[in-house]
Amino acid sequence: MSLLDAHLAHLTAALPPFRRCEPLLARWGAVLARRLTDGGRLLVAGNGGSAAEAQHLTAELVGKLRDDRQPLSAIALHAETSALTAIGNDYGYEEVFARQVRAHGRPDDVLLLLSTSGGSGNLLTAARAGREAGLRCWAFTGPAPNPLAEACHEVLAVDSPDSQVVQELHLVSSHLLCEYVEQAMAGQLTPAAPAAGPVRAGVEVVLDGGAVRPVQA
């Protein structure tokens, strides 16, 4: 069996149980849409490849996935490199996300933590900090049970022993979560801005008598 065939076989095996995650993603999308449109924020963190997945998610929310809409507050904690390295240097790597959660999180904000193993120490510390601060704590992990799943209020656990497949389905989950957020916001999509009036080319010069004379650029 080739590498591609082996990888696709692992991915195919993980798809049937993953289908059961859709109701959870739909509910999370509705909750997240309400919180973000009410002025709350989403804090996201991960390590390594999961950090890249987390940052992909925040980019879709601050920007857009499909349709134009208001920007939504979503912060990838690992992307704040000066804070990350300062906290790691002064307080240790276990605190690099937790201290930012305490700084930025407010009650009922959402903290989403991504880990293929579900055992990353800095994410477990962040989950505890989030719960203490009154945030809703969610996780994307690999197979459950795992420590991060137990530390968060809810978890989407991808049932695959292959960490690459777990990350790939975390990306699918992120896209679906954004889809459900935008679906919940369907009535709040930003309309096209009205024209501000006729557009004039060139430069207008106001003469001493008050007359306006156009001058072509």
Tell me the pLDDT tens digit for each residue of 137-172. 999 999 999 999 999 999 999 999 999 999 999 999
Quick: pLDDT tens for 103-119: 999 999 999 999 999 99
Reported confidence tier of residue 191, pLDDT bands at 50, 70, 90:
very low
Residue 216 scores a pLDDT above 80: no
**pTM of the full predicted structure?**
0.84
Reported confidence tier of residue 192, pLDDT bands at 50, 70, 90:
very low
pLDDT at 171: 97
Mean pLDDT score, 47-63: 96
Counting residues of the chain whose pLDDT is more than 70, the rounded percentage is: 86
Mean pLDDT score, 122-127: 98
Closest CA to 72 of 84, 86, 83, 62: 62
pLDDT at 68: 84
pLDDT at 194: 46
Residue 27 scores a pLDDT above 50: yes
Reported confidence tier of residue 122, pLDDT bands at 50, 70, 90:
very high
